[in-house]
Chain A
C-alpha cells in the first residue's frame, strides 16, 4: 500500500521548507521526499497551499474506556483525535478499572488496533488503583506497551512513594507524568482562588496546590537525577519553577493545554460548567505566562487533557459538576489562532510543541519528524481556513466544550496514520 502527497510545504520542528516537495509513503513508512515524484499509485493527496507536518501527538487524553463508555470510547475518541489532526494519542489511566496492569494495557491497544484510526498508547497508573499506596509492576507495564505512567486526576501525594516511583521508573525506562495538586490545599475548590471566586462565592482552588507539588517533584528529580513530566501547567509561578529547574539542568519537562492559554477564570462567571476544569482556568497574567513558556520552550508540549463528560453529568450545580472539557478537536484551531497567527509561535515551533517534543519526551523515536525512513504519520493543515466549532459537528461522544461557537483560523485538512488516510476534509 502506498500514498503520494504532492506539493507539500513541509514543516518540521527545525525547518520550514520553502519549496514544495512530494512525499512517498510505502507500507506505513516515508520512503522518499523529493521535489517531484512520478511513481504511480492509487492514492494521492494534492497538498497545494497547505502545510504538511509530522503527525501531531497528544500525550494527555482521557478516553473513558473501560468504565464510562457513555462519555467516550476508544473508537469515538480516535475519531475525535484524527479529526483534530492527531495521529498518536496517549490515554490516561483513571478509568474503571484503573489501567494498572499489563492485561488492561494490552486490551486497550487491541481495541485501538481494531478501530484502526490512530495510534493509542495507554498510560499506566503509577500506583495500584491510583490509591497512592503501592507502585504498579512497572516492568510489566512497559512490556505491555506503556511508555509513561501517571496517576492523573490526582497527585502522588506521598513524597516517599513518589521518590521510589521516580527511582524505579528510571530503571524501568518509563516517563512519570505528575498531575500536580496537593489535595489538602486545593481542598474541594471548584475554580481558581481569586477575586473572581470571591465575587462568585465559589470555593477557590489556590494555585499553591499546584506549585508546591511541582517544587517538591523538582527537588526529588534533582536529588535522584531522575526525570519527571509536569502535566497541564496553569500558572505563571509553575512556569517560573520549571524554567529555573531546567536552567539548573534538572530533568523536568512540562505541558500546557489550549484552554490555559486562551481562557481566564472570568469564563466561569456565568456558572458555565463547561468551563469547570482541573487545574482551573486562571488569570490573564497566567495565560500570558503559559504563552511565554511555550515560546521559550520552558513548556515542551501542548496537550489537550481531552476530558469527555455527558450532558447529564455536566448539567448540575457548578459545585457538583465533574472537572474537564473535551479538547481534541479544538487544539489545532486554538493553537494556530492564538499562538501562530498571533506570532507567539512560528510554524516550526508549533510542530515542536505538538509533535517533535512529545515524541522525544515519551521516546517515540520514529515519530515527531517528517523524514525518509520515519513513520508515515502526517497531519495536513490549511493555515488560513476560517471555521467555527459547532456542537453538531463534534466527533467526540461528549460535547462539553466552552469553545462551541468560537471562530478559529487554521484547520486540519487531513490526518494520515501509517500511510493510511484516517481523516480528510470532504
Chain B
C-alpha cells in the first residue's frame, strides 16, 4: 500500500483512487475494533480531537467523537453556531482560540461551502470537513463506498443512483466525485428545480424519472428532502414529491433489480423520500452505514494524525494485544 500524504481531508477531489482504497482498507481493520469487548486501541493516545459543529448534527458528530475515543484521543465538542457568532467572533477567531489550546485536529461542519478550506489555510491543526454547505461531506461518501464495497465486493462498474434534492446535497456531490473516481457509474434523479446546472459535467447521468433511474441500479442512495424546499417554492408539494420521487415497496419491487442496496445518509423523512417498509426492509443497509461510519472516521483520523507524526521510541513493555502499537503503525491485511 502507498504512503498517506495528506494533512487535511477537505473533499474527495483532493484524494486519489489509491488514497480512497487506503482509507477503506484501514477502515476494514478498525471495524473489528468496534466489534470487540474492549472497543479501544491506543493509536492516538495523547492527541486531541475537537469536533466543531456550526450546524446542528447528532449522528456525524457522535460518530466522529466515538471514532476518536476508540483511538484513545481526547475529544472536545464545540457547537459553535449560536454562542460565538452572536458575540461577533469570526469562525477563524474561534478556531484559532481552540487551536491555542493545542488541539491536533479539528472536525468542522459549517453551513457555508469553503469554510474548511479557509481554516486549512490559516490553522496549524489538521482539518476534517464534516460537511460544508452544499459542497462536500467526504466521510459520508467514504462510509457509503465502504458499505457498498463490503456488501458487493467492488465499486468499479456498479450503477449507483442518487435520488432527491441534488442541488442542496453535499452527500450527492461527494458521492459523485468518490464513486466516479472509483469507477462506478452514477445517475442522479430528482425534480428539475432541485437539479444543479451542468451536473452532467461531473460525469453523471441525469434523470427526472424514478423508474428509469433505478431500473439498472445496483445501489440506490436516497437523500433527505428538507421540508423547507416547498416553502422556498422549489416544489409544488411534498405529496407530489413523494408520489414521483419517493421510493416505496411497490415501486422498489416493480422497477428495481433484485438485491439492490438501499442507502440513506440519514436522518430519514419516512413517507417522503422512502417508506418505512423500504427503510427497514431487507434491501436497506442504512444501519450498516451508521456502523461503518465509525470505522471509516477512525481510519481517517488515524491516517491524518497517526501517519504524519514521527514514530516515537519503541517501548518493549507493551501489553496491548492488537495489531496496533503506540507508535501509530498498523498492519492491514490486504487481499
Interface residues of A (CB under 8 A from B): 193-195, 197-204, 206, 270-271, 312, 315-320
- The chain A residue with its CB closest to the CB of B170 is A201
Is residue B118 contacting chain A, with contact meaning CB distance below 8 A?
yes
**Structural contact, B112 and A320, CB atoms closer than 8 A:** yes
In the complex, what's the smallest C-beta–C-beta distance from B169 to chain A, in angstroms? 9
Is residue B90 contacting chain A, with contact meaning CB distance below 8 A?
yes
In the complex, what's the smallest C-beta–C-beta distance from B55 to chain A, in angstroms? 12
**Structural contact, A271 and B114, CB atoms closer than 8 A:** yes
Report the interface size for chain B: residues with CB under 8 A from the other chain.
24
Residues 88-144 of B contacting A (Cβ, < 8 Å):
90-92, 110-115, 117-118, 132-136
CB neighbours (8 Å) of B198 from chain A are 194-195, 198
**Structural contact, A202 and B133, CB atoms closer than 8 A:** yes
Q: A315-B92, A317-B118 are in contact. Are A201 and B113 (CB under 8 A)?
A: yes
Interface residues of B (CB under 8 A from A): 90-92, 110-115, 117-118, 132-136, 170, 173, 196-199, 201-202
**Structural contact, A319 and B196, CB atoms closer than 8 A:** no
CB neighbours (8 Å) of B113 from chain A are 200-202, 271, 318-319
When the two chains form the complex, which single residue of B90, B110, B173 contacts A199, counting CB atoms closer than 8 Å? B173
**Structural contact, A317 and B197, CB atoms closer than 8 A:** no
Q: A315-B90, A320-B112 are in contact. Are A204 and B135 (CB under 8 A)?
A: no
When the two chains form the complex, which single residue of B91, B118, B173, B199 contacts A271, counting CB atoms closer than 8 Å? B118
C-alpha gap A203/B111 in the complex (Å): 12
C-alpha gap A312/B115 in the complex (Å): 15
- The chain B residue with its CB closest to the CB of A204 is B197
14 more A-B contacts (CB under 8 A) besides A199-B202, A200-B135, A271-B113? Answer: A195-B201, A201-B132, A201-B134, A202-B113, A203-B134, A204-B196, A206-B197, A271-B117, A312-B90, A315-B90, A316-B90, A317-B112, A317-B115, A319-B111
**Structural contact, A318 and B197, CB atoms closer than 8 A:** no
CB neighbours (8 Å) of B112 from chain A are 317-320
C-alpha gap A197/B133 in the complex (Å): 12
In the complex, what's the smallest C-beta–C-beta distance from A210 to chain B, in angstroms? 16
In the complex, what's the smallest C-beta–C-beta distance from A124 to chain B, in angstroms? 33
CB neighbours (8 Å) of A319 from chain B are 111-113, 133
**Structural contact, B202 and A198, CB atoms closer than 8 A:** yes
Interface of B, helix, strand, loop or mixed by DSSP: mixed
**A193, A204, A319 interface centre (most CB from chain B within 10 Å):** A319
Q: A195-B201, A317-B112 are in contact. Are A201 and B92 (CB under 8 A)?
A: no
**Structural contact, B136 and A201, CB atoms closer than 8 A:** yes
CB neighbours (8 Å) of A199 from chain B are 173, 201-202
In the complex, what's the smallest C-beta–C-beta distance from B217 to chain A, in angstroms? 22
C-alpha gap A197/B201 in the complex (Å): 12
When the two chains form the complex, which single residue of B90, B92, B135, B197 contacts A195, counting CB atoms closer than 8 Å? B197
Q: A271-B118, A318-B112, A319-B133 are in contact. Are A198 and B197 (CB under 8 A)?
A: yes
**Structural contact, A201 and B197, CB atoms closer than 8 A:** no
In the complex, what's the smallest C-beta–C-beta distance from A244 to chain B, in angstroms? 25
Q: A197-B196, A201-B134, A202-B135 are in contact. Are A318 and B114 (CB under 8 A)?
A: yes
CB neighbours (8 Å) of A194 from chain B are 197-198
CB neighbours (8 Å) of A270 from chain B are 117
**B114, B117, B133, B201 interface centre (most CB from chain A within 10 Å):** B114
**A198, A201, A204 interface centre (most CB from chain B within 10 Å):** A201
CB neighbours (8 Å) of B111 from chain A are 319
- The chain B residue with its CB closest to the CB of A312 is B90
CB neighbours (8 Å) of B110 from chain A are 317
Q: A202-B133, A315-B92, A317-B91 are in contact. Are A197 and B114 (CB under 8 A)?
A: no
- The chain A residue with its CB closest to the CB of B173 is A201
CB neighbours (8 Å) of A193 from chain B are 197
**Structural contact, B114 and A200, CB atoms closer than 8 A:** yes
In the complex, what's the smallest C-beta–C-beta distance from A66 to chain B, in angstroms? 23
**Structural contact, B117 and A201, CB atoms closer than 8 A:** no
In the complex, what's the smallest C-beta–C-beta distance from B108 to chain A, in angstroms? 11
C-alpha gap A198/B198 in the complex (Å): 7
When the two chains form the complex, which single residue of B91, B132, B197 contacts A316, counting CB atoms closer than 8 Å? B91
C-alpha gap A193/B167 in the complex (Å): 12
In the complex, what's the smallest C-beta–C-beta distance from B230 to chain A, in angstroms? 16
- The chain B residue with its CB closest to the CB of A206 is B197
When the two chains form the complex, which single residue of B117, B132, B170, B201 contacts A198, counting CB atoms closer than 8 Å? B201
CB neighbours (8 Å) of A201 from chain B are 113, 132-136, 170, 173
9 tightest CB-CB pairs across the interface, nearest first?
Answer: A201-B135, A271-B114, A201-B134, A317-B112, A195-B198, A319-B112, A198-B196, A195-B201, A201-B113
- The chain B residue with its CB closest to the CB of A317 is B112
C-alpha gap A90/B264 in the complex (Å): 55
**A197, A315, A318 interface centre (most CB from chain B within 10 Å):** A318
- The chain A residue with its CB closest to the CB of B135 is A201
CB neighbours (8 Å) of A202 from chain B are 113-114, 133-135
CB neighbours (8 Å) of B170 from chain A are 201
What are 27 A-to-B residue pairs whose CB atoms are below 8 Å? Answer: A195-B202, A199-B202, A200-B113, A200-B135, A201-B113, A201-B132, A201-B133, A201-B134, A201-B135, A201-B136, A202-B113, A203-B134, A204-B196, A204-B197, A206-B197, A271-B113, A271-B114, A271-B117, A312-B90, A316-B90, A317-B112, A317-B115, A318-B114, A319-B112, A319-B113, A319-B133, A320-B112
CB neighbours (8 Å) of B114 from chain A are 200, 202, 271, 317-318
